[in-house]
Each structure stands twice: as structure tokens, then as C-alpha cells.
Amino acid sequence: MKLITRLFPRAKQRDLVSDQSGVAAIEFALISTGMFALLSGAVDVTQAITIQRDLNRFTVEVAQAIAASCKGTSGCAISAMEAVRLRQATIAPKLATMQVGMANFEKRNNRVEDIVGTMTYLPTDMNTTAMATMANGDRGVAVLATYTHQPIILGLADDWGFMTKNFRAARVVLASRS
């Protein structure tokens, strides 16, 4: 206490202990840190929901557009897929770095055959969907889109173990019935 009286000769010891002038700043610093963490978490969750919705919409619309315009013909599907690939940044500007795989195929002998496009095979879930929804001789279109998202506040997300998140959307559509 002698040090305080030496530093602040005019202040009484009681006044320094009961002084409340900096309390609001301290309370704001403590509360705003937690609120900032909650706000950034809410923004990241909202972004995750939006990204998944956009990927689902993209795959559905591209698959339906290719199926409707080509009716299962391989040559037309390839040119339609190339047109989608060239316009990908315009179609989904917020997802400019997404990877898109597209395929035109036929179901024969209870197998997916004659796959033409950027995919050489259908992943298991897409193959299962194709087998369940199509009859032998049917032609279909498959679109697979994947996107890797990094949170806005990388340091905070890294502390909690949420560095990146991989999003995936897949769609199989009937192009023509035999």
C-alpha cells in the first residue's frame, strides 16, 4: 500500500479500492470474446447449410438439364457436360473451386455400363441409386459435386478442430426409358 500512496499521493487508499471506472471495459472484453466466438460459429454453420443446399441444387439442375436435353444419347451428353464445365463459375459463383464429375450411362444386365463423361465409374451410393431406380436398357445421367470449405476464422476453428469440411452432393437421373 505504501507504493500506491507514493504513486498516487492525493488519492486515498479507500478511493483506489472502491474505484469502478474501468469495470465496464473489463466486462466488455470478457463478454465480447465469447459473443465473437458464438457469432463466428453461427456464421460458419450458416455457411455450411448454404453450401450443402447449393451443391444439392447444382447437381439436381445439371443432371436434369443434361437428361432433358440429350435423352440419353452419348454425343449430346458429352457436349452438354463440356458446356456445364465451361460455365461452372457462372452457374455456381460461390462454389468456384468445386470439383464436378458427370457421366452418361446405361443399365444392362443389372449393371451400369457404357459410362461416358468425366467419371469412369459410379461411386457405391450412386450405383445403388441407379440400380434401384432404373430398369435394364434405361439410360441415365449422374452428377457428383464435391467442395472443400474452410471456416472464416481459421485460428478459432483450428483450436476447436474444425479446420476444413468436405461437402458432397450426388444425383442420378433417368435420361431415357427403353
CB 130 within 8 A of CB 115: no
pLDDT tens digit sequence for 14-41: 565 566 777 888 888 889 988 887 887 7
Q: At what angle do helices 74-86 and 23-70 cross, to 10 degrees?
A: 150
pLDDT tens digit sequence for 48-71: 888 899 999 999 998 888 888 877
Indicate the pTM of the whole model: 0.73
CB 136 within 8 A of CB 107: yes
CA atoms within 13 A on the CB side of 83: 12
